Amino acid sequence: MVVLAILLPILFGLLLLLGLPRALGVLGAGLSLLLNLYLFLTHPGGVAHGVQAPLLPGAGVYWAFGLDGLSALFFLTIGLSVLLGALVAKVEGRFLGLALLMSGLLLGLFAARDLLVFYLFFEAALIPALLMLFFYGGEGRIRAIYTLLLFTLAGSLPMLAAILAVKALGGSPTFLLEDLLAHPVGGNAAFWVFLGFALAFAVKTPLFPVHAWLPLFHQENHPSGLADALGTLYKVGVFAFFRFAIPLAPEGFAELQGLLLFLAAISALYGAWVAFSAKDFKTLLAYAGVSHMGVAALGVFSGTPEGALGGLYLLAASGVYTGGLFLLAGRLYERLHTLEIGRFRGLAESAPGLSALALFLFLAMVGLPGLSGFPGELMTLLGAYKASPWLTALAFLSVIAGAAYALTAFQKVFWEGGQRGTEDLKGAEWPFAFLAVAALVLMGVFPGFFVKGLEPLAEAFAKILGGGA
Amino acid sequence: MWLLLTILLPLLGFALLGLFGKRMREPLPGVIASLLVLASFLLGTGLLLAGGARFEAEWLPGIPFSLLLDNLSGFMLLIVTGVGFLIHVYAIGYMAGDAGYSRFFAYFNFFIAMMLTLVLADSYPVMFIGWEGVGLASFLLIGFWYKNAQYADSARKAFIVNRIGDLGFMLGMAILWALYGTLSISELKEALEGPLKNPSLLALAGLLLFLGAVGKSAQVPLMVWLPDAMAGPTPVSALIHAATMVTAGVYLIARSSFLYANLPDVSYTIAVIGLITALYGALSAFGQNDIKKIVAYSTISQLGYMFLAAGVGAYWVALFHVFTHAFFKALLFLASGSVIHALGGEQDVRKMGGLWKHLPLTRWHGLIGALALGGLPLLSGFWSKDAILTATLTYPFGGTGFYLGALFVAVLTAMYAMRWFVLVFLGEERGHHHPHEAPPVMLWPNHLLALGSVLAGYLALPHPLPNPLEPFLKPTLAELEAHHLSLGAEWGLIALSGAVALLGLWLGYTFFQRKAFPPWYLTFEAWSRESFFADRVYNALIVNPLKALAEALFYGDGSLLRGYFGLGGTVRTLGQGIARLQTGYLRVYALLFVLGVLVLLGVMRW
């Protein structure tokens, strides 16, 4: 089942790359979401649908996939985000094909139960991202590609070393997650192993100061927002810290916890603050993303069950609303051929539906209770406070800064007087708006339903670090 | 389940009007919205009479979605839905013909739903849902006429300033969670009955929660958003920015009285902030020329009174003032609305005057409202304000200083209330309008509010007269032993406060009918008009520096990337340099080797 769920978007992606029409891609994205939804709803708890086949049995590498509560949640949000993108991004079939391909690789990454397989997907997902940037990006795309590659490689090589070291030093017979967890690395080596992971994952969180690739990445990507939405899903650092880096080398994490909490708090505040000065939509969303990932990372780094649960839920939720906002920016670009915030004004009058959708997305992003951003933020707060009251207070200043940048942008674009009229929601934008709002509200009102599968994992995580209930 | 329905009914109205309102003809959206609030009111009353109710559903791990209808929340529910219903009805007339008619009522119903969530919550996170929800409703309604950039700015300002308080609320929750492992109000109440776990940290939590109240209730120093909030349509000012939402901070303190009763220092701070705010609001009201802004500053001032009462420990008295204030302040706003309506949108009191003969009913609404605010004996405002004055002397956290300060503010209140009335209704006509009285749909709510403004005070008369309110609320509030004054002293004080109010009213009535004012007053007025420059000081000291820093960080972030590439370049240069070191001479290698060892040894020792 899991393998099917991973292969389905990859298969559709390949078909589209061969030149089949875009509509097929929408179908693929829809089927993928339905399958993922089914997997989520029928998830029995524990690691479900596990499969395991030898890849390099001599080296202890296995094709191992499985769906735990965490993966199931991300399957759902990834499926949803991709469908949202497929519905509205008016791009050619091949572009959508790359997006589907990437989403399949991301699903693989979230379902991997073998460290090397995870690594494989983690790196492979970069390829469609780069291709989308290369073929459909803006004028400065080469520089953006160069930057992204440089940052990624700077993280990947130490990570590969860390992966090999984890097995060798911990004495695990295989790279399978459960084997590795049974043989954590201890002592001095733990520090270096963790550091190797940390760099790669910090780049992909992204944490200050290695976030510098992100604004460029978003600015240069196609204005439809499709590549940005996928790029948002690719920010898997917080997940990877939780699933691999911290449990595999808890002693190493313990040594760096203070620094990481500090960087996460700085990212949260800094991102929100800088976002306030952003002149165009994508830059704004890029920095807003840094801020949110800072909060999410703070939750996981707190090492508490509440914090980890909150951080991961925030990560899952932000995939939908940040992606949704990128796609919304794409809708605006298609209408008015600009992404500059100062050049819209007063769109609410001619496009009330679009305006309402934007408000929902923005409010979810700034953590308004009742929408999907808040539960994660609250649980993060409660957990992180236990780990570090002062850094938590610092990080949560972003609550104020977030309201400032989000509402300023909303006001500039949709309120105030302006001659610019534009079309309201039309065609496929209606199901897009409906799905997005439904997701925001459901995830905000019934978070307990979505995090049920996460709870035991967060508890186990905290136990590894010597805390938890 | 029935309890949840009180919230769901107006929420349903929001969804219904938001989605299909545009297709309905006036006044259908207004009627639907009003009826839903009425239904909520009736349902709430029924549940309260049946002895209260509880509701609990799963929400987050360790944090259920729990609601509680007890006497305290029931009392607030009746104010919110009762006064809320009247203002809904008024708005049917006031908003007639507005392009955003159905949108207005959608937001209005949303507000009621969120306010009920806030009031009925039995855990702080649930209260926070309502807390931020009403903030959102306030944002949307202040910016209702969003095409005006200034109004839009006001809306945004209100939300952001409130968020400062909200951060306090959130951090306060974090401390309580860390200390007690629960955020349920009922459970915390029980947990706090024993000896306190960590008094200083608990005091910090109390202070942070109070910061939330300071933001929501526009207390000093976060009061700057409320005057600007008058940009919204007048029914919004009456419902949200006078009668209900802004009193949420007082409600928070009362709901958390089990906490604050244990924290004398924090309570003292609350009382001081309350008194300062009461004074600040009153002094700022004098210089205002916008008919609504005068009332807005008086709201800030009256909220200060409520916090003063809550701070000294007289929680039920604070709620009593919430109750009477809801009537007379809603009345003042709606009467202002009728005046604005009559003058075709005019809000400047300098262009009003002489409306006494044109508005035969609204003039009585304005008079009753102003007199109740000014504390004319026997009207509602008199009884509740007097209860606060007495409480500053009898409750444990009170003191004579609070009493004298509050008495002084009472004189000021009576004076500016009269200024408002004189400038609007008396004297000669200064504008060129053809005033017309409001339609019945706007008059009838005001009749009822006027009735309330007269009678609401009789719910809690001073000893030994009947006082049903105190025993009604008592079981839900923390017990603080108030010492009783002798009958003579108590009624002496009542006579004093009555005399003071009469003095203030008379002073205001005569002074503001003058043609020319003495120079000292003009100086004071100039300062008062700018509300003592709070906005400018904040902009200069806080807002602008923060914005500038945001710009600086933004450009700094751009160079961060260049810095990385610069670093790459440096590494390359360094590499080439090192390559040059590979000279092949053994002695150079030896030297490098020794140096390396020295460095390593140094590192290891360090």
Give a yes or no: residue A339 inside a domain.
yes
Q: Å from A439 to nearest chain B CA?
A: 16
The pLDDT score that the predictor gives to residue B304 is: 96
The pLDDT score that the predictor gives to residue B559 is: 84
Quote the distance between the C-alpha of residue B202 and its chain's center: 24
B562 close contact with A: CB closer than 8 A: no
Q: Is the pLDDT of residue A469 over 50?
A: no
Cβ neighbors of B81 (< 8 A, separation 6 or more) are B6, B37, B38, B40, B41, B44, B112, B116
Q: What is the dihedral of CA B260, B261, B267, B270, to 10 degrees?
A: 60
Query: Once rounded to an integer, what is the mean pLDDT over residues B362-386?
Result: 95
Chain A's closest residue to B153, CA to CA, is A411
The pLDDT score that the predictor gives to residue A314 is: 96
Residue A67 domain boundaries: 2-464
Q: Is the pLDDT of residue A112 over 80?
A: yes
Q: Is the pLDDT of residue B582 over 80?
A: no
B175 close contact with A: CB closer than 8 A: yes
C-beta contacts of A109-112 below 8 A and 24+ residues apart: A109/A236, A110/A70, A110/A71, A110/A74, A110/A75, A110/A78, A110/A236, A110/A239, A111/A2, A111/A5, A111/A6, A111/A65, A111/A66, A111/A67, A111/A71, A111/A75, A112/A64, A112/A65
d(CA B510, CA A225): 67
Q: Is the pLDDT of residue B597 over 80?
A: no
Q: Å from A384 to nearest chain B CA?
A: 9
d(CA B331, CA B354): 20
d(CA A344, CA B206): 44
Query: Once rounded to an integer, what is the mean pLDDT over residues B161-169?
Result: 95
* Test the B interface: residue of A378, A380, A413 with most B CBs within 10 Å: A378
Contact A128, A102 (CB under 8 A): yes
Cβ neighbors of B24 (< 8 A, separation 6 or more) are B17, B32, B102
Of A212, A396, A415, Cβ closest to residue B561:
A212
Eight-state DSSP code of residue A18: T
Beta-carbon-side half-sphere exposure of residue B534 (alpha carbons within 13 Å):
19
Query: Once rounded to an integer, what is the mean pLDDT over residues A112-124?
Result: 94
Q: Is B550 close to A381, i.e. CB distance below 8 A? A: no
Give a yes or no: residue A249 inside a domain.
yes
Give a yes or no: residue A433 inside a domain.
yes
Backbone angles phi and psi of B358, in degrees to 5: -90, -30
d(CA A462, CA A388): 15
Residues of B numbered 35-64 whose beta carbons fall under 8 angstroms of chain A's beta carbons: which are they?
A: 58-63
Q: Is the peptide bond before B264 cis (omega within 30 degrees of 0)?
A: no
d(CA B95, CA B108): 12
Give a yes or no: residue A416 inside a domain.
yes
Contact B460, B386 (CB under 8 A): no
pLDDT in tens, A276-313: 999 999 999 999 999 999 999 999 999 999 999 999 99
Q: Pick the closest to residue B517 from B286, B200, B329 (CA basis).
A: B286
Mean pLDDT value across chain B: 91
d(CA A468, CA B365): 61
Q: Work out the burial of residue B353: count CB atoms within 10 Å of its CB; fewer than 13 is exposed, 13-18 middle, 19 or more buried.
A: middle
d(CA A267, CA A299): 13
Query: Once rounded to an integer, what is the mean pLDDT over residues B342-357?
Result: 89
Q: Å from B207 to nearest chain A CA?
A: 14
Of A381, A404, A415, Cβ closest to residue B174:
A381
The pLDDT score that the predictor gives to residue B601 is: 63
- The SS3 assignment for A236 reads coil
Eight-state DSSP code of residue B483: P
- Please count the structural domains in chain A: 1
Give a yes or no: residue A135 inside a domain.
yes
- Predicted confidence band at B584 (pLDDT cuts at 50, 70, 90)? low
d(CA A90, CA A225): 10
d(CA B11, CA A172): 56
Q: Pick the closest to residue A387 from A272, A254, A197, A271 (CA basis).
A: A254
Mean pLDDT value across chain A: 92
Q: Pick the closest to residue A237 from A197, A189, A193 (CA basis).
A: A197
B18 close contact with A: CB closer than 8 A: yes
| Residues of chain A above pLDDT 70, percent | 99
Cβ neighbors of B53 (< 8 A, separation 6 or more) are B2, B3, B47, B67, B68, B69
Q: Is A416 close to B152, i.e. CB distance below 8 A? A: yes
Chain A's closest residue to B201, CA to CA, is A389
* Test the B interface: residue of A416, A430, A457 with most B CBs within 10 Å: A416
Chain B's closest residue to A305, CA to CA, is B61
Q: Is A448 close to B60, i.e. CB distance below 8 A? A: yes
- Tell me which chain A residues have a C-beta less than 8 angstroms from the C-beta of B178: 382, 385-386
Token couple for A456: 């035991």
d(CA A300, CA A307): 6
Give a yes or no: residue A469 inside a domain.
no
Q: Is A212 close to B564, i.e. CB distance below 8 A? A: yes
Strand B53-60 with A48-56, pairing: unpaired
pLDDT in tens, A214-269: 999 999 999 999 999 999 999 999 999 999 999 999 999 999 999 999 999 999 99
Q: Pick the closest to residue A44 from A372, A440, A456 (CA basis).
A: A456
B544 close contact with A: CB closer than 8 A: no
* Test the B interface: residue of A148, A312, A360, A415 with most B CBs within 10 Å: A415
Query: Once rounded to an integer, what is the mean pLDDT over residues B302-327?
Result: 96
pLDDT in tens, B198-255: 899 999 999 999 999 999 999 999 999 999 999 999 999 999 999 999 999 999 999 9
Of B63, B152, B163, Cβ closest to residue A403:
B163
pLDDT in tens, A355-375: 999 999 999 999 999 999 999
B354 close contact with A: CB closer than 8 A: no
**Please, what's the largest Cα pairwise distance for chain B?**
110
- Predicted confidence band at B353 (pLDDT cuts at 50, 70, 90)? confident
Give a yes or no: residue A83 inside a domain.
yes
Q: Å from A175 to nearest chain B CA?
A: 33
d(CA B414, CA B34): 34
- Predicted confidence band at A58 (pLDDT cuts at 50, 70, 90)? confident
Q: Is A408 close to B156, i.e. CB distance below 8 A? A: yes
Which residue matches tokens 């917080």?
Answer: A238
The pLDDT score that the predictor gives to residue B587 is: 66
pLDDT in tens, B76-86: 999 999 999 99
The pLDDT score that the predictor gives to residue A468 is: 43
Query: Once rounded to an integer, what is the mean pLDDT over residues B158-163?
Result: 95
Q: Is B160 close to A407, i.e. CB distance below 8 A? A: yes
d(CA B543, CA B153): 14
Contact B242, B329 (CB under 8 A): yes
**Please, what's the largest Cα pairwise distance for chain A?**
69
Q: Work out the burial of residue B596: count CB atoms within 10 Å of its CB; fewer than 13 is exposed, 13-18 middle, 19 or more buried.
A: exposed
Beta carbon pairs, A and B, within 8 Å: 127
Q: Pick the closest to residue A91 from A248, A225, A192 (CA basis).
A: A225
- Tell me which chain B residues have a C-beta less than 8 angstroms from the C-beta of A208: none
Token couple for B197: 């776990």
Backbone angles phi and psi of B181, in degrees to 5: 70, 15
B551 close contact with A: CB closer than 8 A: yes
Quote the distance between the C-alpha of residue A71 and its chain's center: 12
B434 close contact with A: CB closer than 8 A: no
Q: Is B561 close to A382, i.e. CB distance below 8 A? A: no
Eight-state DSSP code of residue A341: G
Q: What is the dihedral of CA B196, B201, B207, B211, to 10 degrees?
A: -130
CB atoms near residue B64 (< 10 Å):
19
* Test the B interface: residue of A145, A277, A345, A362 with most B CBs within 10 Å: A277
Please provide the size of chain B in residues.
606
